[in-house]
Structures are given as structure tokens and as C-alpha cells.
Amino acid sequence: IDCWALRGGEVHNVEGEPDSLNCPHVSVTHHKQPHVCVPIQVFNKPVGLIELAWGRSTDGWAPEMPLVNTVAEKIGLAFGNLRLREELSRQALIDPLTGLHNRRWLETCLKERVARHARGGLGFAVLIIDIDHFKAINDRYGHDAGDAALQEIARVLAASVRDSEASARLGGEEFTILVDTQDFSEAMAVAERVRLSVQALRIRANDQDLPTVTVSIGVALYPHHGSGVTEVLGRADEALYASKHNGRNQVRLPAPVSLAVN
């Protein structure tokens, strides 16, 4: 930090003698002139400063320091309010346990992607991921162990998506991934990599190793499996149910829709 006011969190006022500390941000010509540096702080951390300088031949004029301090405080409060708003907005869209996006964010993201497709953009794949026998983990090893499993799996999911893609926690032991592809084989390959990565995890909680954790995954593609968000999520959920019903720890697509013949 190139200012003594910011370093100390206090006003640095130079009046009579030249400034022996020579703040680097003060011009050389002003080092020998009266000047003042007033820190602007947000939550007791410096974010900027007010620098004022005046000549020695100004008939005794000098800034009114109470007023300058008040201005610095008000600017700091304004910045603080902005940061609080940003943090509250961020928290409203983030799951606090896993750090992934939450269902609210996911719904908005899906609507944006559908709208993008309507403007000529590509479709996408939805993967719904459910931890197998999660209740048994909580019942046998405690909720701390369950939380550890959720956090480790969330880490795998976050590492499985590209910057343009997304991972989210739907709630409970259920997650989702949005993959930028309209290709069935690519979507299934991503899901299979996730399944194997989770199965390879070694999770430790409360000074003990948890048994191998597995996931079941349902995959649906937009717009192939539905014309809207609700329909595509429903088809992915249908595929997930098939994965659970047929033995768990596997990846499934929705069953083909049969057309009634009159």
C-alpha cells in the first residue's frame, strides 16, 4: 500500500515541514506543500483515499478536517452498502454447504439457455445426480459425515464442468450439471466420468473412513427431450428414477416416448 494513511488507517496530515514519509502517490511538487491523506474504509479495511494539497501562500486556507472526514466516512458507507448488496445477492444464489449454485439460480440459468437456443444457440444436456443410500450414511455415521459426502461430491461436480457450463445443488442429496452439448454420446460420457469420479472418492469424517459412495444419474437433452425447462427436467428425473430402480450406480437416458396409434 503506497500511502501511510492507508497503512495505518488514520489521517496523514502534513502542514509545517516537508513530508519525511513521502507517500509515493503524492506528486513531488506537493511533498513540500501542506497536504492531507484521508483513508476511505469499508468494514475497517482500506479501499481508497482522499488526497488534498494546498499552497503555503493561500492566506491561511486549509481544508476543514471534520468535513473531509465526514465525506470519507460517507463514501466508505456507500461502498459498504454496495458490497453488502452484492454479497446478499450472491448468497441468495449459492448453496452455503457445498458452495455450488442453488435451485433458484438453476431455474434462471435454464430459462436463459432455452431463450438462447430460441435465438439460434445450441441446446444442452441436463444431468440430475442423486447420491445412493444417502440416508443410510446419515443414520450410521452422522450428519457430519453426510455433509462431508455432499461437499466432496460437489467438488467433483464443480471440477467436471467447463467455464461456460454449470453445476448446482437442487436440494438434499440431489445435484445437477448443465453440459453444453446436443450429442447423446458426449452427454453420457460426461455423466459416466462423474459417476466413476464419485465412486473413486475416499471420504473421511469423524476420524473414520466412509464406505464407497456412489451416485445414480439421469440424462436428458434439450430440445430433444422437451420443449421447455419443466419438461426437460422431468425427463431427466424420469431417467434418474430408472437408474435408481434398476440397481443404482449407473447412468440412464429417458425411455423413448411411444406414440399412440389410432
Q: Which of 64, 107, 173, 186 is catalytic?
A: 173
Non-local (6+) Cβ contacts of 189 within 8 A are: none
| 180 close to 162: Cβ distance less than 8 angstroms | yes
Handedness of CA 85, 91, 93, 99 (dihedral sign): positive
| 193 close to 226: Cβ distance less than 8 angstroms | no
Query: Which residue stretches of the chain are H helix?
Result: 4-8, 28-31, 65-92, 103-118, 134-141, 143-159, 184-199, 229-245
> Of 114, 172, 180, whose CA–CA distance to 147 is shortest?
172
Sheet holding 124-131, edge to edge: 166-171, 174-179, 124-131, 215-222, 251-252
Torsion angle of alpha carbons 27, 28, 30, 35, nearest 10°? 70
Q: Which amino acid makes up residue 241?
A: Y
192 is catalytic: no
- Rounded-to-integer distance, Cα 15 and Cα 38, Å: 14
| 100 close to 168: Cβ distance less than 8 angstroms | yes
Residue 65: count of CB within 10 angstroms of its CB: 13
Could you give the residue numbers annotated as active site?
A: 173
